[in-house]
Structure formats: C-alpha cells, structure tokens
Structure 1
Amino acid sequence: MPRGKAPGTDKLSVELLQAVQSPICVEGVISCAPYRPITLLPVLYKVFTRCILARIRGTLEEAQPIEQAGFRKGYMLPKLSRVQKAPAKVWETRYTKILQECYTDCHTVFRPFCRDVAVAVERGVLQGDPISPCLFSACLESTIRRCDWEPFGVEVNGVRLNHLRFADDIVLVTKTPEDASRMINGLHEAGKEAGLTINTTKTKVLRNSFCSLEPVLLQGVALEDVKEYVYLGRLVNMKNDLKPEIERRKRAGWAAYNSIRTVLERVSNSKLRADLFNSTVLPALCYACETWALTRKAEDELRRVQISIE
C-alpha cells in the first residue's frame, strides 16, 4: 500500500503497519498465566502513595518478624538479634481510609479489538505501586499470625524456627510430615480469609534421610517430594551438595554472555567492555555466592569460566 494516506477511525496508518516486524513466537507455551498484561499507574498516584508510605513505613516495619528480614529495605544482619514486639503505634484513621479509597472501585482498561474494555479489579495490589510490597507483607503477616505455628519447627541456637519468608515465598520447617501437613493446611485456611491461595504446582516437599516417608497432605492431596528445589534463584538440596548449583551458575554465566555477545563484538573500549561484563555476566555467574561454602576445585571451575568468557 502507498504511504502518506490518512488513517481511518482505528488511527492505524500504513506506516505503522509496515513498521511492525514479524512477531517472535514463544514455543511450548501451554498457559497464558506467565504472560499476563500489566497496568501502567499514573505518576501522580505513585507520588501520592509514596508520601503515604513514608508516613506509615515505621509502623509496617515494626510489625514484621525476623523471618521476613530478607524482603525488608535496609534490614541488616545485626538487627536479627533484636526482639520483635507488637507495635505500640496505631495508624491514624485517616491513613486507613485513604488506603481503602485507593483500592475502592478500581478498574483497568485494555483494548483487544480497537475498543476499550473496562474490567473491575476486585483483589490484589497494584503492580508498580510503591506501597504495594508493604501492604502485601502486612496482609501476609496478619495471615500467618492466625496460623498458631508456635508448637512446630526446630530449635536453632535456642531459637525456634518454623518458617522463612521472602515476600510470599515461604519455607516451612518441621520435624515430621504430620506437623508439615498441619502447618500448611492452617496456612491454607487462614489465607482464604484474605483471598490468598497456595500455588500447589510450586509447593514441594524436601526431606532428609531421617524423616518419615509419610506424605505431606494439603486438603487431602499429597504434595510432590523432590530431591532439590530452586528457592529464590538458588538450588537447594538436603545433602548440601553445592555442585549442581555451581553448574547452574556456569550455564547462567554463559547465557548472560551470549545475550550481550553481539554488543561486545562492536565495543572496542576496554573499560566499557569490563563494565558490561561486571554488570551482566558476573552477577549471573556469582548469584548468591555469599551462601556458598566453596572448595578449591569449585573456585578453579568458576575461575576458568570467567577467564573463558573474558
């Protein structure tokens, strides 16, 4: 079609259609869940909620336990020894009402066929909202407090540990499968009151050689037993074998290098090449290395990979 023609009511010009390249198809997709669309929030709204967050952050932080330390901003290891107490402060009514107003009559609009379709948003928090992580953590903390997990868990240096959290990624620690079943079913029941559900496809059971082989049940359904599991990007197993994780890091390092390889081939500035390597390849190669107990052999393997990539 010739260019320079005025677009119709759909506002699509010939130039725009010709500029669209062939779509990149993703093979093996059987579910749309990982490709959900996002909603862009107004900048003025985000500025407003950031101001609200600055006023209530202290109260929210005081209510969080040490199990959620990794998800909290500026929470360093020395603070873990502090005894957590119930917050003495109570939110002013106006802040609660403001937050309720922000999540009342919410809707989003998308345009599948050149026509706006409004969809009511009835659950969840807004993606990209500065206050969303804190509100979600507060909701999850309220849910877990209703679970009554005090009798469960194991003692570590005199402190009872029954779970760990990073946002909504939760690890339950128990001595027996029966206790694990009670804990996870209690979490399921408490979560329903807040509109939270457990993703059974991602919920797995890791047990050591001393544990009973009795299944862990969630709503009467046995959860899958696995030998290893990727938690927060780190492969963990009950044997504390670091070799599988080292192999994953080596592959991730090469994958990161291949993603910028064409760019590096065009860059002659050595400093810029080093900056690209340090900001792209090195984080993939050394992710979570602070938790590793490296042997000399593992160090040599990582060093050889780094030299090969450089």
Structure 2
Amino acid sequence: MMLLTGMALMFSAILLLGVAVILPKTPEVPFDRRRPYHEGSGSQLTRFAGSASEAVHGVLARRNVRLFNREQLENAGLRMSQADFFILVISGALVGALIGLVIGGPFVAFLFFIPAPFVARMFLSSLAGKRRAKFDAQLGDTLQLLAGGLRAGHSILRAIDAAATESASPTSEEMRRIITETSLGRDLEASLNDTAERMRSEDFVWIAQAIQINREVGGNLAEVLDQVNETIRERSEIKGHIKSLAAEGKFSGYILMALPFGIVTMLLVVNPGYMNVMFAQPLGWGMIGLSVILMTIGGLWMRKIIDLKF
C-alpha cells in the first residue's frame, strides 16, 4: 500500500511539473484593465525547459528525425512542436522505467521504457480520430451557417469566415485555416480538398465539390448546400443505425476476449496454487503461448466481422 501511494505521489509530482513547464502563466486581470502582456524571462525551470526544447529541436533537425511531425500533432489538436512532445514522451518513458524498477527490477523497467514511442503514436492517433469524428458531427451546423451567410448576400469566403467565428473546435480551426491559406494566395479549391483529406471526411469532399462546381457553372449555392446537408443528415442516421446493430457483436467480442483473463484472475485469487503448474512446466508455457496466438487470431477475425464499412 505504501509503495502504491509513493508511486502515485511521484507520478502526480511529475505531472504537475510538466503542466507548470508546458503551460505558461498568463495574467488573470481582464484585458481592458491591463497593459499589453509581455512574456517575461520566466523562472529558472522555464528557461531550462526552453533550452532543453531548443537543444532537442536542433538534434532532431540535424539528423532529420521525424518521429512526431507537425502534421500529426496538428491533426491531434496539440499546439506544440515535435521537440516539446518528444520531451514529454521521454519523460513519460523515464517515469514508467522508474516505476518498473521499483516494482520488478531492471528488466521490468526496460519493458516499461520501450513501449513509450508506440504508446505516444497510439495516443496521437486516438486524439486525431476523436477530432475527426467531432468535425464530422459538426458538419450539419457548419453547412447551415454557410447557407445562411450566402443567403445574407455574403461571398463564399465571407461565409466561411463567419462559420469559423461561430463554430466550435475543430471546425472553427479548420475554417480559419482555409481563410488564412486563401488570404495568402492559395486557391480555395486546393484548401478545401486538403481539409477534406486531412480530416478524412467524405461528406466534406461533397461540400468542396459543390463549391467548386458552383464557382465554375454558377447557380444558387445556398440551395445546393441545403441539399448536401440533407444528404449528410440521412447518411448520419444510417450510420447510427449500423453502429447500433453492430454494438451487440462488438460487446460480445469484448466479453469473449476478456473472459480467459477474468477466469485466470479469479482462479489466482480463490486458489493461488492452482495455476502454478502452468507456469512451472514447459508444456504450460507452450499452452499459454498457443492460447495467446489463438486469441489474437480470433480477436482479429471478430474485428473483421463486426467492422462494417459504410
């Protein structure tokens, strides 16, 4: 109990240290009552973190290392450089290695240290997936804002700017990025297509194509966007029905995958010596390895069955 409490306090201290280093303090006085904010030199710890970030950035740039490039961080919604995120990953790996060293020695510490980059990539992929799903869920409201702006007499760029102002994240960020790129001279069609590719949204591809066709042949773009919005809403309803029908299969797969581990845990709690033969004989280790292989194959098979494409 004391060991777990110590590890929890150590992890909390490192987490608070990371928050203090990464997040700069800003004045809490209202904007209209303060002078223009100028970030000072900061504390010694902040200066050390900045120096470490610059040093890591220099090493990564000289060796042309792209472990976590800017595009991955932007897709995940993280506003930090590759060097900052790399420092966080290394810090997390060191914390995991320290916990493993306390629990089981150098070998466990090594096992806790190695998966850190893979866990970081999975973390970025998870954040990017959630961000894309949120963007898709906001497309209906975005189309209503665009159509309303066009009916009010605004141009398509002004309507996109209004949608960037009124929408929530991540739609506001993506719309603002389109406005910024077009202001710098990039073609609107290219910006829209890049946004659709970056967010992996088929629905936004339809929006980009509708705007492109309207710019070429003319017509009432507001009515076209309303029709696209209706189609997207119908597709969303169908997706919801498919997900609800596939939820039972997914839940059954989760139960089947967790059942062997639950049974082994129950046996170890009820009768600790009952499973000793499995871990003391070569035949037992062979059966465990074969079970892991069969469970992996079965899990991938079930995932293929319940992963419906629509």
Q: TM-score scaled by structure 1?
A: 0.30
TM-score (norm 2): 0.30
Which structure is larger by alpha-carbon Rg, 1 or 2? 2
- Larger strand proportion, structure 1 or 2? 1
Higher helix share: 2
